[in-house]
Amino acid sequence: MMKRRRRLGSTGLVLLLASSSAAAPASSWRIERGDVHILVPLKPGGAFSATTPSLSGSLILEPAKPARLTGEISMDLATIDTGIGLRNQHLREKYLEVAKGKGFDRAVLSQINLNDADGEAFEGRTAFTGMLLLHGVLHSVEGTAEIRRDGLGRRVRAEFPLVLPDFGITPPEYLGVGVGSRLLVKTQFTAMPAREPAK
């Protein structure tokens, strides 16, 4: 009888530990010190850059494999700078239509999956997929990211192609010079823990 009780007690302890592990809280991160660099090709040749430091958001790393991030990363489209005032105005007003407000004034990346990552301790390169809201259209994107430890945080560099017609944006063209339909988005930011580490 005593042996049976000990076996039941051991089984209960194992189940308790397993359930505690399964219920471990997901880790939360906030975006800091970010910037975005967009390479815009021109036809018949050349290119220009559009940049902004206006990157913000918060993410929660879900305990899944591959790693899944809920939350969102957001960029203020009204802050994009191409280096030329008139071009900035045309980009924001005519093509991005930021004055329309919600769904148009920000680009928002969500539903992010890190295909090659397996948890919070991951470092290195990984392919990723996500859903991007731009110009009122939600469309999938995919690219690559490199994640490195930076103190308590993670330093992230990522890039992905952006195809303008996917988001209902007609590439501008004037007097035989136009913008290519496929842009390259590069971003870097630091993700810091949203909670103080346990002591």
**Res 196 pLDDT > 60:** no
User: Which residue ranges form the domains of the chain, and what is each CATH number?
Assistant: 23-193 (2.40.128.110)
State pTM to two decimals: 0.83
Residue 98 has pLDDT above 80, yes or no: yes
HEC profile of 143-190: EEEEEEEECCEEEEEEEEEEEHHHHCCCCCEECCEEECCEEEEEEEEE
In this prediction, residues 55-66 reach a mean pLDDT of 90
Q: Is residue 12 over pLDDT 60?
A: no
Which pLDDT does position 66 carry in this prediction? Answer: 86
pLDDT attached to residue 25? 55
pLDDT at 189 over 90: yes
H/E element, 8: helix 2-22
DSSP 9-35: HHHHHHHHHHHHHHTPPPEEEEEEEEE
**pLDDT tens, residue by residue, 21-30:** 444 456 899 9
Based on the number of CB atoms within 10 Å of its own CB, is 192 exposed (0-12), middle (13-18) or buried (19 or more)? Answer: middle
The total of other beta-carbon atoms located within 10 Å of residue 43's CB is: 13
Which pLDDT band holds residue 76 (cuts at 50, 70, 90)?
very high
pLDDT at residue 177 in the model: 81
pLDDT reported for residue 50? 96
